[in-house]
Structures are given as structure tokens and as C-alpha cells.
Structure 1
Amino acid sequence: MTSTPGVILAGGKATRMGGGDKGLKRVAGERLIDRVIARLGPQCAPLAINANGDPARFAEFGLPVLPDSLPDHPGPLAGVLAGLDWAAGLGAASIVTVAADTPFFPADLVARLQAAAGPSGLALAASRDDTGKLWQHPTFGLWPVALRNDLRAALEGGLRKIVLWTDRHEAGIAEFPSDPFDPFFNINTPEDIAEAERLIA
């Protein structure tokens, strides 16, 4: 099977962290994005980063930096669309996306997303909380390039909520265990950095 391109979604504004790039914040001495690249690299190739603003701040990673193609930062789906447009140029059939602020996502993420793909080839990751409620993690997904024009039209029409669009296309769900902790734990605040360092230790 040919490898699937991977896109790291780093386009958020990190307002709860005081601004800047969350992916460049350090956890236990290592930048979040380094941890994400190390986790995604064995699962996907090639890799790219979705980010807006000056791409030079990511130059050292040697990866393409894909800005949103739509104005006003319409959210993670714009990053997905940028990734799909990039992958179309590579002749790829799909991409996998991950968030730049989630350092513990599963090492078998891509294989399990592919196994869970719905009829359109779309799949999202999910995990259960302590009460048994299933939470989708829509920044972690398998996205078919064939749907990129539909996604563009939806975004241009004002759609912002990822699951409204993924439900429309019958996305499959890859459920991951939350024991000993949720692998999709993401870092939004300085307190989250402290928690991540505790988990790493």
C-alpha cells in the first residue's frame, strides 16, 4: 500500500496560551511539534504543516508549510482543505491530519483510521471519557482527496463545524482506548503543559 501524506494542523491562534504557535511550546524540554513529527513520521509520508503567517518560523523542519486557502481563519477544516489541495498535486488519494498540540496520539492512528473508513473513505478518531461518552476528535482524520471540492464549497457557504460535514459524508469512527489516559489529550493552557510533563514522567 502506498503511504498516505500526513498534515500537521498548526493554524490555531493559541489564545489560551497567550498567543504564538502552540506547536513550538516545550514540554519536558522538547517542542510539541517535534513530538508530533516523531509520532506521525513512521505512519505517513510525506509530511506537511498547515500554518498561517510567516512560514520561515517552521523552516528548520524542512517540510512544506501550507497556509489556509480561505480568508479569516475559518478553522481546522480550512487546514484540512489546504492539505487536500497539496495532496491532489502529489496524486495522493487521501491525507491524514493530526493536531500540533496533541503529543500522545496513537502510534497506530493511521492504520486504524484506514480500517474504519466509511463509504466515502472518510474516518475520524474518537475516544471515551470516564462516563463512557464517546468523543470524536475531528482534527484527527482520514480525508479523501475526492471530497475536496465539496469541502471547499461547504466552507465558502459558511460551514465551520467539522462533524456537520463529516456526518453528511458518513465518516467512519476509529475508537481508541482512554486507558491509562486519553491519547488525544491536547495542550491549550500552561496547566496542560504541566499535566503533559507529569504524563511523560
Structure 2
Amino acid sequence: MASSTPNTLSASHITGLVLAGGRGTRMGGVDKGLQPLHGKPLVQHVLERLAPQVGTLAVNANRSQLHYASFGYPVWSDLQAGFPGPLAGLQSGLAHCTTPWLACAPCDAPLIPYDLVAHLADAIAEAGAEAAIAVTTGAQGRQRHPVCALLSRSTRDALDAFLATGERKMDRWFATLHCVEVEFPEEHAFSNINTAPELQRLEEEQ
């Protein structure tokens, strides 16, 4: 476990990381986090929801770094070249953060709950776990959302070793940890915007 014991885990012990380091392939290769929703970039929606839940905040991005920096937070690129995926973003976050815990959320989930981190932290405290991920149940069945997670900085060495084997799957990574799954009732809150039509639908619905 990290240096903070479960019963002292609080926002000041947590760095938030918004993952915006992907290629945006399904959205035509554009920088997905910078696509507008209701007049502001997707990433800004996530930053505004995550900021009150953590002590410090950063963005993981591999392009448009100056644009991401304009939101006022540090920008941490992957430590590996070639856009290897969200686990590489987590690796960078764990390498850079100075708090015992790291919370992450993707830049394309603009409706994440305002109590996301608190519920994950409570579950970690209760189980004495080193990580927690969000889970929802609904029309699509039980869905795990490992990109919405809270994990101990002490997992960094294990993640380095995991990535060194060529593995990239987040589910497989979290399966190697003492990880708890935390159920959230708001299935829609974890919707990922992967395509232009999905973004347009959300624009019209909200």
C-alpha cells in the first residue's frame, strides 16, 4: 500500500489525471479531447468535474501539448513512443505524480460523476485494496470502466514490468492487482464519445 493508510485517504493524497493521449482513430484521427461539446472542449468538461475531487490535476497528452497546457494544468506525455494506449498514460501519471494515489478518467467521458473519486476511495479504504475501478450495470449488461480508476502510486514498478512484456490491456493489468470494483448507478455517466455521430447525439441530448 502507499504511504497514506486507508482511513486517511483524502483528496489531498490524490493526483487526478485526464487521459488524452490517444490517436482518436474512430473520430477520424482528430485530437478527441479538443473536440467541442456545448461550446467547450471535451477535456474541459472532464477537468471541471475531476478537479474538485482531487488535490492536484494533470493531463496526459501526446500532441497539442500547448493547447492542453492552456487549461492551466501540467501536461505529461507517455514515456513510450507510438501511442501505446491508456496504460502508458497511467505509467506516465504514476511516474510524475507526487501524491500516494492517482485517479484517472478519460478525456472522452464528459459526464463522469462528481463523486467518482470519493466512492473509489471509500471502496479502497474498506477493502484495503491498492486499486479500484468503476463498474455499471444496465442495458448493455455489467460493464467495467478501468479508465475510471483510483490506484496506489506503489503499483508503478509492477506496471513498468507489465508494459515491458508487450501487454497493453487495462483489464489484464488491473487483474494483477488487489483491485475492487465499485458499482455506480449512472450508466450514462461513463459513456465514451468515440465518434463524431456520438458527439453530435450527446450535444443534442444534453
Aligned to 1:79: 89
TM-score by length of 1: 0.91
Percent pairwise identity: 37
Amino acid at match of 2:95: D
| Alpha-carbon distance between aligned partners in 2 of 1:70 and 1:14, rounded to the nearest angstrom | 18
Amino acid at match of 2:155: L
Q: 1:107 aligns with which of 114, 130, 142?
A: 114
Query: What 5-or-longer segments of structure 1 have no aligned partner?
Result: none
Q: 2:71 aligns with which of 47, 52, 61?
A: 61
| Alpha-carbon distance between aligned partners in 2 of 1:53 and 1:109, rounded to the nearest angstrom | 27
Does 2:177 match 1:176? no
Q: 1:121 aligns with which of 127, 130, 145?
A: 130
For residue 167 of structure 1, report the CA deviation from its aligned partner. 1.2
In the alignment of these two chains, the number of paired residues is 194
| Alpha-carbon distance between aligned partners in 2 of 1:146 and 1:49, rounded to the nearest angstrom | 20
| Alpha-carbon distance between aligned partners in 1 of 2:188 and 2:19, rounded to the nearest angstrom | 19
3-state secondary structure, aligned to 1:101: coil
3-state secondary structure, aligned to 2:188: coil
RMSD: 1.5
Q: 2:105 aligns with which of 93, 98, 119?
A: 98
| Alpha-carbon distance between aligned partners in 1 of 2:144 and 2:16, rounded to the nearest angstrom | 19
Report 1:40-59 matches (<5 A): 40-59=50-69
Aligned to 1:195: 201
For residue 20 of structure 1, report the CA deviation from its aligned partner. 2.1
For residue 168 of structure 1, report the CA deviation from its aligned partner. 1.5
Q: 1:167 to 1:128 in 2, by over 3 A?
A: same
3-state secondary structure, aligned to 1:134: strand
Q: 1:120 to 1:71 in 2, by over 3 A?
A: farther
Does 2:178 match 1:165? no
Q: 1:17 aligns with which of 27, 37, 46?
A: 27
TM-score by length of 2: 0.89
| Alpha-carbon distance between aligned partners in 2 of 1:100 and 1:18, rounded to the nearest angstrom | 16
3-state secondary structure, aligned to 1:154: helix
For residue 27 of structure 1, report the CA deviation from its aligned partner. 1.1
For residue 57 of structure 1, report the CA deviation from its aligned partner. 2.3
| Alpha-carbon distance between aligned partners in 2 of 1:175 and 1:186, rounded to the nearest angstrom | 17
Give yes or no for contact 1:9–1:76 (8 Å, CA) kept in 2: yes
